[in-house]
């Protein structure tokens, strides 16, 4: 395996696509060859129960036969038309409109980063403003518009913190960052710069830092301010939509955003994403509007992604996916909390529905990024290594999360908790 990774490092920066995937090597090199259900297999034949699930898209398990069969059927008639209208585009768009409470129209793309990029352009065109308000600890993709103050170190919380070299200063200048769940901070920005804002964007449940649950009054106040100032409210539901519910968490939280970005679980691992929202905003991208918004992409609306999306959305509607995953997720969280208490390990377990994350060295219910930033990173990595040695794979990035799929069941839960018991004893 090391030989393969060494070869990769000769031709691929860091030896894996994107730095976040490179982190999965910690502390040992690893390369996967196949996946099925809840299991991934390395090139050397070692098997792991997969709690990473590609950062969350694989909600029905690897190789779901219904989804894969739909893709095979679709490609028999062509993979990419790249022009005009095709039935799959209409059928999947209709399903998204029917699923998301706030959606009236849909524009397809291929990744969550593309979706948030397009959403912000639509909002800027609508308002004729440039400044975007985002929240510390929320991740909306790697592009310059929003890759700011996602994971600042503790001594830079609240300060200007681009997450990458090469980001335009002007893009950072056009981004206001405030703490999540701090309505007072949002109100202050609106009082000072409300007429200059192009959009407010947030993960309604920020899972990029494990899990921050929103205060109801925070979201209600945010929605009211956006309506008062006519500033589009953008929900980044790339992680939550179709994983937590086909209706997104917007229905659960009782808020109707103006734009919603979806990806990941929409296609059970196949590349497909979309911006959904009001007709007023989306119609700016209409082809007959010569002064409108350009949203383009050769592979947008490709038949592979759309066939997977149609089959996934239908499967979520027909099966009790969220019921199973919510119950299972709660049992993982409760089991881990009990074990940490039994072993006197300082920490907490955060999460929602099918997502959970143990966080060491911090306690209490986290409400803002400040409540997360000082977690014990090295202890989490030690825990991740111990669990991986026992056959459980999840990213060793301590700010990230475990995911569950319908392929996970009772036997996986029992084995995970039994092995966690051993690892926590060592910790």
pLDDT digits (tens, 9 = 90+) for 247-261: 999 999 999 999 999
pLDDT given for residue 27 in this prediction: 62
One domain for residues 58 and 82: no
pLDDT digit string, tens, across residues 98-125:
999 999 999 999 999 999 999 999 999 9
One domain for residues 188 and 130: yes
Residue 250: count other Cβ atoms within 10 Å of its Cβ: 22
Of the residues 283, 318, 353, the one at which a domain ends: 318
Closest CA to 399 of 136, 9, 65: 136
Of the residues 295, 318, 341, the one at which a domain ends: 318
- pLDDT band at 157, cuts 50/70/90? very high
Kindly report the CATH number assigned to the domain that includes residue 355. 3.90.1150.10
Range of the domain at 158: 65-318
What is the bridge-based pairing of β-strands 392-393 and 32-36?
A: unpaired
Map residue 234 onto helix, strand or coil.
strand
**Out of 64, 236, 258, 371, which one is annotated catalytic?**
236
One domain for residues 69 and 133: yes
pLDDT given for residue 344 in this prediction: 97
Q: What is the mean pLDDT of the chain?
A: 94
**Out of 264, 270, 369, 416, which one is annotated catalytic?**
264
Q: Residue 21 above 80 pLDDT?
A: no
One domain for residues 378 and 243: no
Count of structural domains, the chain: 2
One domain for residues 226 and 363: no
Q: What is the average pLDDT across 395-423? A: 97
One domain for residues 114 and 27: no
Peptide bond into 385 cis (omega under 30): no
Kindly report the CATH number assigned to the domain that includes residue 292. 3.40.640.10
Of the residues 280, 303, 318, the one at which a domain ends: 318
**Out of 48, 126, 139, 369, which one is annotated catalytic?**
139
One domain for residues 210 and 172: yes
Q: Which two tokens stand for residue 380?
A: 């989490």
Per the annotation, the verdict on 264 as an active-site residue is yes
One domain for residues 229 and 262: yes
- pLDDT band at 199, cuts 50/70/90? very high
């Amino acid at each position: 395996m090391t030989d393969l990774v060494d070869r990769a490092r000769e031709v691929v920066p860091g030896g894996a696509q994107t730095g976040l995937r490179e982190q999965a090597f910690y502390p040992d090199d690893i390369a996967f060859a196949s996946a099925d259900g809840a299991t991934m297999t390395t090139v050397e034949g070692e098997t792991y129960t997969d709690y990473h699930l590609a950062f969350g898209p694989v909600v029905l398990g690897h190789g779901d036969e219904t989804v894969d069969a739909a893709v095979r059927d679709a490609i028999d008639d062509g993979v990419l038309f790249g022009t005009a209208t095709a039935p799959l585009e209409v059928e999947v768009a209709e399903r998204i409109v029917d699923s998301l409470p706030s959606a009236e129209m849909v524009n397809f793309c291929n990744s969550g980063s593309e979706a948030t990029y397009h959403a912000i352009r639509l909002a800027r065109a609508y308002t004729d403003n440039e400044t975007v308000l985002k929240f510390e600890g929320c991740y909306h993709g790697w592009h310059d518009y929003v890759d700011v103050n996602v994971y600042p170190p503790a001594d830079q919380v609240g300060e200007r913190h681009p997450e990458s070299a090469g980001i335009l200063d002007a893009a950072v200048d056009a981004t206001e960052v405030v703490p999540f769940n701090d309505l007072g901070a949002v109100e202050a920005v609106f009082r000072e710069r409300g007429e200059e804002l192009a959009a407010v964007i947030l993960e309604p449940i920020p899972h990029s830092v494990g899990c921050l649950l929103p205060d109801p009054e925070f979201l209600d106040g945010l929605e009211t301010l956006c309506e008062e100032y006519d500033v589009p409210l953008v929900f980044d539901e790339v992680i939550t939509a179709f994983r937590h519910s086909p209706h997104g968490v917007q229905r659960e939280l009782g808020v109707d955003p103006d734009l919603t970005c979806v990806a990941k679980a929409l296609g059970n691992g196949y590349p497909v994403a979309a911006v959904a929202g009001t007709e007023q905003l989306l119609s700016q991208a209409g082809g007959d509007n010569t002064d409108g918004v350009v949203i383009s992409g050769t592979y947008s609306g490709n038949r592979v992604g759309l066939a997977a999306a149609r089959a996934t959305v239908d499967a979520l509607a027909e099966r009790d996916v969220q019921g199973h995953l919510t119950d299972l997720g709660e049992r993982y969280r409760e089991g881990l909390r009990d074990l940490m208490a039994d072993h006197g390990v300082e920490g907490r377990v955060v999460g929602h529905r099918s997502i959970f994350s143990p966080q060491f060295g911090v306690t209490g219910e986290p409400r803002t990024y400040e409540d997360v930033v000082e977690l014990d990173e090295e202890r989490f990595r030690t825990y991740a290594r111990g669990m991986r040695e026992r056959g459980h794979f999840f990213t060793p990035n301590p700010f990230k999360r475990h995911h569950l799929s319908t392929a996970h069941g009772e036997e996986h839960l029992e084995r995970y908790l039994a092995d966690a018991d051993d690892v926590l004893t060592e910790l």
